[in-house]
Amino acid sequence: MAQTPEDATGPIPTIGTGPKVAFLGLGVMGAPMASHLAKADYQITVFNRSAPKALAWVALNRGFAKPTPVEAVEYADFVMMCVGNDDDVRSVVYGPQGALAGMKPGSILIDHTTASADVAREVSAACAERGIGFVDAPVSGGQAGAQNGALTIMCGSDDEAVFQRAKAAIAPYSRACERLGKAGAGQLAKMVNQICIAGIVQGLAEGVNFAQHAGLDVDKLVEVIGKGAAASWQMDNRASTMNRGEFEFGFAVEWMRKDLGICLDEANRNGARLPLTALVDQFYAQVVARGGSRWDTSSLVHLLQND
C-alpha cells in the first residue's frame, strides 16, 4: 500500500520483505526504476532534489521519502542513484548531507547516471575508503525500457562479488546486466553505446529524407528494409515519427549532447578518433539552435527537411 505524503518522511520502511534500498533521483528514468523495486516488495526509501517529486512518487508507490541523501540511505543495503551529470553525482554523494556520510560499511552504491569514467573511479575510491562497494552502472533502453523493466545495464566494479550482489538487487528493472571491467568500465561502455547510436540515427535521418525526396512511402519502405541488414531499434521505433516530423518520443537532444561531449573528451584522452561522432554532435548543436533542446534525438532529420 502506498504511503501518503504525510507519512512519507517517517522512519525506515517496515513494509516489504526484499532488500532495504534507497533510490536517489526520481527523473524520467529513476522514477520508474524505483517503482519496479517497490513492486518487487523491496523496502525502499527515496530522495529527490525536488522534494515534491519524491512525495508524488510515494503517493503512488510502496515506500518513504527523505529530505536528504544521508537520511535516505541510513539503513540501506543498496543505494541506487540516477542523476544528471558528474556535478550532480558529486553533490548527491559527498558532503555532510551526502550519501557516503550515511551509508554503512558493507553496503553498495550503484550509480546509474551516465557520467564520466573519471567520476566513477573517483567515487569508487571514496567508497572503498569507507568499506562500501561501488558499481558504475549506466543504462540503455530509454524511458520505455525503464517503464517496462527492460533496461540493459553496463557495469564497472573493482570487485566481482560486489557486482554479483548489485546485479541481483537491480534485477527488477534490468533485462541484461554485465560487468565489463573495473570501476569506470560501465561508463566507457555507455560511451560506445552512444557513439553507435549517434551514427545510426544520422544514417536513418538521411535515409528517411532521401526516401521522401524520392517519393517513396516511408512506412512501407521501412516494413521491407527493416527485415534486412538495415534493421535497427532506431528504424523500428523512430523512422515513422521522423517521417511525420514528430520529436517527442524519447531521449532529449540536450542529454545526448552531454553524453557525446563525454565521449569526445574521453577520446581526446585515449587517442581514439571519432570523426562521425564529432560531426553528429555539431548537428545536434544546430538542432538546439533551432529550439530543439528537448526534442528527441531523431530530430536530426529536421535539419534535412527544413534546410
Positions marked catalytic: 190
C-alpha distance from residue 130 to each of 100, 105, 123, 134, 257 (Å)? 8, 6, 11, 11, 34
Q: Among candidates 278, 254, 259, 258, which has minimal Cα distance to 268?
A: 278
> How far from the centroid of its chain's Cα atoms is residue 194's Cα?
12
Q: Among candidates 191, 208, 212, 306, which has minimal Cα distance to 259?
A: 191
| Nearest-angstrom CA–CA distance, 16 and 306 | 53
Q: Residues 80, 21: contact at Cβ < 8 Å?
A: yes
DSSP H helical ranges for 215-250:
218-225, 233-244
Q: Residue 28 gets which letter from DSSP?
A: T
Q: Among candidates 98, 90, 94, which has minimal Cα distance to 68?
A: 98
Q: In what order do the strands lie in the sheet with 174-179?
A: 139-140, 151-155, 174-179
Q: Where do the DSSP E strands lie in 49-132?
A: 64-65, 78-81, 108-111
Q: Among candidates 75, 78, 83, 67, which has minimal Cα distance to 8?
A: 67
Q: Residues 21, 76: contact at Cβ < 8 Å?
A: yes
SS3 of residue 299 by DSSP: helix
Residue with cell 505524503: 5
Q: Residues 51, 65: contact at Cβ < 8 Å?
A: yes
